[in-house]
């Protein structure tokens, strides 16, 4: 669906994208995660033809970027692209006109899209009267009104509460069920983990790791993570080393990578003689892999 090859972009002497490659398959939800300033929005702006790359190729459905491919793409940018004093319906009509929809198609699409994002009952309400979650859904509706095949969502749920986030995740899954390919960026690693079939980890304009969560998990030699609270951290680390457990600090939390899962009582036995306040077992999450990849440049 989307193929990016050897994309380069610099702002003056700063290289933002360096031979960046990405291949998004038709029908998948692909998530790009990375630290602030990694180049995610720059990539989106280049795909949408809002910004020129210095070199490289982008193909959408095997066609180079052009006015024609613009119609295949729907974009919901990081900042909502909405006119606050206009109603939901008026906003969508405005964007439908930009895409050149004829009158009959426009009315049908505006209604269908408002229904899809669950805002039909707010059709006549001005944007300024909507909650943050509703505005975000309307922003996504703008990306859908011309029935694109590829929808690009730049941080679709940033700043939203958990219920609004669930609504948007439901909407994204619904779009995928309709055959729409989704490319999203996010800082929320659990969002990428829950929604995306494939995830790319980007830093300084390069993909450092990519794959399904199961594939990414193979990047670190841990089958399970065990967080330990203890007043004797040095002793715990030394003991863990005897069993081949690597240690990491996640924030202030001391944790160990278990090369193979162990029963809780076996874990407790390993730390016998050390004052342990609590032990918490966790699966290997995207956050653990992300930190390794972005901090240790895998």
Ligand X SMILES: Nc1ncnc2c1ncn2[C@@H]1O[C@H](COP(=O)(O)OP(=O)(O)OP(=O)(O)O)[C@@H](O)[C@H]1O
> Which of these segments, 39-47, 108-116, 120-128, 231-239, binds ligand X (CB under 6 A)?
39-47
Which CB, 9 or 198, lies closer to ligand X? 9
Please report whether residue 31 would count as binding ligand X according to CB under 6 A: no
- The helix or strand, by DSSP H or E, that contains position 170, with its residue range, turns out to be helix 162-177
Residue 163 Cα distances to 33, 174, 177, 186, 247, angstroms: 22, 17, 21, 17, 35
Rounded to the nearest 10 degrees, the angle between the axes of helix 132-144 and helix 88-98 is 30
Give the β-pairing of 253-258 and 246-250.
antiparallel
> Residue 11, interface with ligand X (CB under 6 A)?
yes
Kindly state whether residue 147 participates in binding ligand X, applying the rule CB under 6 A: no
What is the C-alpha end-to-end distance of the chain, expressed in Å? 28
Q: Which stretch binds ligand X (CB under 6 A): 33-41, 212-220, 221-229, 260-268?
A: 33-41
203 binds ligand X (CB under 6 A): no
Strand order in the sheet with 63-64: 14-24, 2-11, 55-60, 63-64
**What SS3 state is found at 275?**
coil
Q: How many CA atoms lie within 13 A of 240 on its CB side?
A: 23
Question: 156 phi and psi, to 5 degrees?
Answer: -65, -25
Contact between 38 and ligand X by CB under 6 A: the answer reads yes
Q: Which is nearer to ligand X, 16 or 180 (CB)?
A: 16
| Of positions 5, 6, 25, 37, contacts ligand X by CB under 6 A | 37
* Residue in the structure block whose two tokens are 């996010």: 186
| 32/168 with CB nearer ligand X | 32
Subset of 243-272 contacting ligand X (CB under 6 A): none
State in angstroms the smallest separation of the CB of 142 from ligand X.
Answer: 19
**Identified binder of ligand X from the candidate list 36, 62, 85, 252, rule CB under 6 A:** 36
Taking the complex as a whole, the smallest distance from the CB of residue 16 to ligand X amounts, in Å, to 4
Single out the segment in contact with ligand X by CB under 6 A; choices: 36-44, 69-77, 214-222, 234-242.
36-44
Among 20, 31, 39, 127, binds ligand X (CB under 6 A): 39
The verdict on 77 binding ligand X (CB under 6 A) reads: no
Residue 164 near residue 136 (C-beta atoms within 8 A): yes
Binding site for ligand X (CB under 6 A): 11, 16, 34, 36-42
């Amino acid at each position: 669906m989307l193929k990016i090859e050897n994309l380069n972009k610099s702002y003056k002497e700063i290289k933002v994208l360096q031979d960046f490659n990405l291949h998004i398959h038709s029908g998948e939800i692909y998530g790009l995660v990375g630290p602030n300033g990694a180049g995610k929005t720059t990539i989106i702006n280049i795909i949408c033809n809002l910004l020129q790359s210095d070199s490289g190729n982008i193909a959408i459905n095997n066609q180079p970027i052009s006015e024609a491919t613009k119609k295949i793409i729907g974009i919901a940018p990081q900042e909502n692209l909405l006119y606050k004093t206009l109603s939901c319906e008026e906003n969508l009509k405005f964007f439908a006109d930009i895409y050149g929809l004829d009158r009959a198609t426009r009315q049908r699409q505006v209604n269908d899209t408002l229904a899809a994002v669950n805002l039909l009952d707010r059709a006549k309400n001005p944007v300024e009267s909507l909650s943050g979650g509703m505005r975000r859904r309307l922003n996504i509706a703008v990306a859908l009104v011309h029935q694109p095949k590829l929808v690009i969502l730049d941080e679709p749920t940033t700043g939203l509460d958990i219920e609004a986030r669930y609504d948007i995740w439901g909407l994204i899954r619904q779009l995928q069920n309709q055959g729409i390919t989704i490319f999203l960026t996010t800082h929320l690693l659990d969002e990428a983990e829950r929604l995306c079939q494939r995830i790319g980890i980007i830093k300084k304009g390069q993909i450092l790791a990519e794959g399904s969560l199961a594939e990414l998990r193979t990047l670190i030699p841990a089958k399970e993570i065990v967080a330990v609270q203890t007043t004797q951290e040095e002793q715990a680390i030394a003991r863990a080393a005897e069993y081949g457990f690597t240690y990491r600090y996640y924030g202030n939390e001391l944790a160990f990578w278990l090369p193979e899962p162990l029963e809780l009582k076996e874990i407790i036995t390993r730390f016998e003689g050390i004052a342990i306040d609590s032990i918490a077992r966790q699966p290997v999450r995207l956050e653990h892999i992300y930190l390794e990849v972005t901090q240790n440049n895998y």
